Amino acid sequence: MELKRGVKLLRGSPNTLIVEKYVVDPGQPAERAGDIVAEAGPSPVVLLTHFHADHLTAVPDGAAVYAPWGEELFVQSTRARLFFTHGVYTEGAIYKGRDLNVAGVVKPGDKVGPFEVVPLPGHTLGHVGYYVDGVLYAGDALFGEKVLEKYGVPYLMDVDMFLSSLDKIEALEPEVLVFGHGPVAGSRKRIRELVEANRSSVERAVRLVESALPADLTTLAIKVLKETGGERGWENVLLTMTTVRAVLSKLSREGRVYLDESGAWIKNYNDR
């Protein structure tokens, strides 16, 4: 599918953007690499928004891979990738990818081929987007409503960064917004709806975590999933624990919670 002249979309979950030999987030499964080579040629340049396995499993052999600055180790190493994604290394993860050679790193403000690198941290700490000719590829800086409903809360590593990146997406006013998991948004109205859906989901996660205290990390994650109706498989429990950690980090920075010697997170009523 051509979004604009020379700007091609390869649909999937995640979606992939291709301009000439440049490929943003090849995605998964591994067999998708053949479709990418057919569009971009035998020696593509792969630009990753972040290190998660579902966005890089289909990197074609021989591709030059560029990782966001600070995330290159997790692109290179499957073991590091899975540990940092889940908080524990497990062979049973649905998405794993493989070890990859990293040709270089990209930083916000860089120009790589036709793309400008845009800072969109929060989902991961080094997450970036790619902007070309009015089209913004935002990766997992936001999610479609069906994904939010399925998983309960957005996966994120920093609450305030994630919310600031939503503001950044709106401020850029792209004509077309492509993101990892969901249909392309082709109007400002639709982009605003997506931003607000993600903002509301994050704000709800913060409220749910705080209202469930005192509790330990695992109990908090399960309570959040129960309240939101999110998928309850073991892997989503682990992923939700990362979001809960991010919420607790925010609340701790603000002096609203503390961790006691038993491992339970407690409201700090002294800040009231």
* 92 pLDDT more than 90: no
The pLDDT value recorded for residue 91 is 84
Distance CA 112, CA 119 (A): 14
**Mean pLDDT, the chain, as a whole number?**
96
Average pLDDT score over residue span 77-103: 93
Tens-digit pLDDT profile for residues 216-232:
999 999 999 999 999 99
Tens-digit pLDDT profile for residues 110-119:
999 999 999 9
The pLDDT value recorded for residue 53 is 97
pLDDT band at 269 (very low <50, low <70, confident <90, very high): confident
* 47 pLDDT more than 60: yes
Are 18 and 138 in contact, with CB atoms under 8 Å apart? no
pLDDT band at 48 (very low <50, low <70, confident <90, very high): very high
Sign of CA dihedral 202, 267, 221, 78: positive
pLDDT band at 270 (very low <50, low <70, confident <90, very high): confident
Tens-digit pLDDT profile for residues 171-203:
999 999 999 999 999 999 999 999 999 999 999
The pLDDT value recorded for residue 271 is 54
Average pLDDT score over residue span 149-169: 97
Listed as own residue / partner, the contacts of 264-271 with beta carbons closer than 8 Å and 24 or more positions apart are 264/214, 264/215, 264/216, 265/213, 265/214, 265/215, 265/216, 265/217, 265/220, 266/213, 266/214, 267/210, 267/213, 267/214
Average pLDDT score over residue span 52-75: 98
pLDDT band at 94 (very low <50, low <70, confident <90, very high): confident
